[in-house]
Chain A
Amino acid sequence: MIYGAISIAGIAKPDLITFLAAALLVVGGAFGVIIFRNPVHSALSLITTMFGIAVLFIEQQAQFLAAVQIIVYAGAIVVLFLFVIMLLGVDRKEAFKAETLKAQRPLALAVGIIALGEVLLLARTTWATGAKSSNAPVGNSYDNVTVIARAVFSTYLLPFEATAVLLVIAVISGVYLAKRVQLGADVERDPGTANLRDNEVIER
């Protein structure tokens, strides 16, 4: 916001309006996440933030990132949040007023200030990546995908593959853990599912 206010003369009017609208979505959504008492409302408000960020990406000509933002964050991660909220039955207004962590608020404030400082520092200086953060398309065309693919499959191939391996490990261990817990755990305990299980065994 400070950055925008400084160079306000250099920005075209439509860009400014889009930015302000999207920023409103982002900040409003973020406030909603912490203000709403109902966890589902908080999650919905988080989606608003995600869409606002996607609009900001589009405004910076990063269309691919915008699409990925919606697909991954709005489409997958918040859906998982909602799944957990709905299935664990925490979808009621929180009754307790007491805070379990005493130092929660001061800590959050401190971390927030550090994060803000970091963002401002990264926007102003070049020491992190060696290049100034830009608000113009990278490369000469609109083709985001080519630029990203070249970077990922040449310069950053090793980190990319390492991430892929990490994800595969996570998936496999997740499947293994889920399966081990399932086996024989609740056949006797829960009469409702015991029926279901017997039927399935018979079908086989």
Chain B
Amino acid sequence: MGVDPLFLGPISIGTVIIAIVKVLVAFGALMVSVMLMIWFERKLISDMQNRIGPNRAGPFGILQTLADGIKLFFKEDLIPGKSERFVFKLAPYLTLVPAFLIFTIVPIGGVVHLFGHTVELQVADPPMGILFLLAMSSVSVYGVMLAGWSSGSKYPLLGAVRASAQMISYEAAMGLSVASVVLITGSLGTRDIVTSQAGAFFGIFPKWNLIRLGIVPFLVFLVAITAELNRPPFDLVEAEQELVGGFHTEYSSIRFALFFLAEFMNTITMSAVIVTLFLGGPDGPNLGGPAFVWPILWFLIKTGAFLFFYVWVRAALPRVRYDQLMDLGWKVLIPVSLGWLLLVGAMQVSKIYGFALFAAFIVAGALMYRAIIIGRSQSSELDIITSFGSDAQRSPKTHTSRERNR
């Protein structure tokens, strides 16, 4: 259970070569898809805003990203005088590497047999599986945080503080909704998560976790990873009106490009992860032709749908306020996903427990809601989350005043 079949037998030169080829192919594919994704996003946003968008480089402007990349390469690479040089240079890579590493655990297709080896179409299938996603997404905070701090200026620091607070807050909700997937699968491995979703209820409804778990963990996960990605409507990290460019204000040239590469790579990776967790990954009907093609195609279609969703949300929704963001994370998503996790657990034990717990939740929820309404009307005190928000905004001010005093 949860073991990569490639490494079950003795390790030969062949297995090593297959592993290396898998890494290279995944990296190349991800790079190309980032290039296409940036073009897709710009083009789609243009359509939604009644503009034309990039249309000069290549057919339909599809080579625009390449042109931009080349341009950024040849621009001057500025390092601010007050910056911490080593960390400043390190930070872009710290955001890029976790973005790629998360993609390695995503199953992009079925299982193929190559030269006498059974090869899963994913770079790695570690037994810790989906925990790797949580580990890497918690590590990816460093890139943003250190970039903001090492720039040695105020807006980046503000952006970085916002970003790390936001990412840490939403990680909890994300982890809890992943936990309900793990609970119903009985394994941490991503391949097991995908294979357990194969099949259908009554022959028509796919047995995806989206349906099996109820839609709630899916929605929680979707919102949480949008916040993790710092994408609109949760892009307070780089709110132009307030923070210039957020944590990457001081970055230029190729380091700036690396941040954008990481951001779009993260978007693609997280879309792939949500497909894996809730939409059956490469699961889908085989409509003829070679057997290994259709799973990959289904995977690409589902991932593409989420990429479209992200662009759509960016064009359609206004940015939330900082206290709204924290309220949503701590007061809505975490309680809801925690309650739903208990419910899924109870349903696993027996249906009677499950429905009893569900009824209890409704009663408790109603009481809680009433209590909160009464409590709010009785006290005009600022709640703790808002004061935390203003705390984060205030901190660099105290920093500078202390410097002034010296």
Contacts and interface: CB of A to CB of B under 8 A. Distances in A.
B348 interface: no
B3 interface: yes
A183 B149 contact: no
Interface in A73-106: 74-76, 79, 82-83, 86-87, 89, 91
Nearest to A183: B381
A76 B188 CA distance: 21
A67 B128 CA distance: 7
Given A74-B138, A76-B168, A83-B164, A197 B382 contact: yes
Q: Is the interface of B mostly helix, strand, loop or mixed?
A: helix
Interface string B121-164: 00000111001101110110110011001000000010001001
Given A141-B1, A144-B127, A179 B384 contact: yes
B380 A204 contact: yes
A67 B387 contact: no
A61 B141 CA distance: 27
A67 B131 contact: yes
Contacts of A47: 142
A130 interface: no
Contacts of B323: 200
B168 A143 contact: no
B263 interface: no
B397 interface: yes
Contact of B145 (A79, A144, A193): A79
Given A87-B395, A91-B149, A196 B390 contact: yes
Contacts of A71: 131, 134-135, 138
A44 interface: yes
A111 B335 CA distance: 43
A162 interface: no
A182 to B, nearest CB: 4
A41 B150 CA distance: 11
Given A71-B135, A192-B397, 5 more contacts: A71-B138, A75-B138, A142-B3, A143-B127, A196-B390
B338 interface: no
Interface residues of B, number: 47
Interface in A43-78: 44, 47, 63-64, 66-68, 70-71, 74-76
17 contacts: A38-B84, A44-B90, A63-B131, A70-B136, A70-B138, A71-B131, A71-B134, A75-B139, A82-B142, A82-B145, A86-B149, A87-B395, A144-B127, A182-B382, A196-B390, A200-B323, A201-B382
Interface string A163-204: 000000000000100110011000000101100110011001
A165 B171 CA distance: 22
B399 interface: yes
Given A76-B138, A89-B403, A63 B168 contact: no
Interface in A3-41: 38, 40-41
B87 interface: yes
B392 to A, nearest CB: 9
B2 interface: yes
B351 interface: no
Given A63-B128, A66-B128, A142-B2, A179 B387 contact: yes
A71 B132 CA distance: 9
Contact of A200 (B131, B168, B386): B386
Minimum-distance CB pairs A-B, first 9: A75-B138, A67-B131, A70-B135, A63-B128, A67-B128, A182-B387, A63-B127, A142-B127, A89-B399
A115 interface: no
B402 interface: yes
B390 A178 contact: no
B393 interface: yes
B394 interface: yes
Interface in B256-304: none
B183 to A, nearest CB: 11
Contacts of B391: 182
A2 to B, nearest CB: 29
A84 to B, nearest CB: 11
Of B84, B127, B381, B382, the most chain A CB neighbours within 10 A belong to: B127
Contacts of B394: 190, 192-193, 196
Contacts of A83: 161, 164
B161 A79 contact: no
B390 A175 contact: no
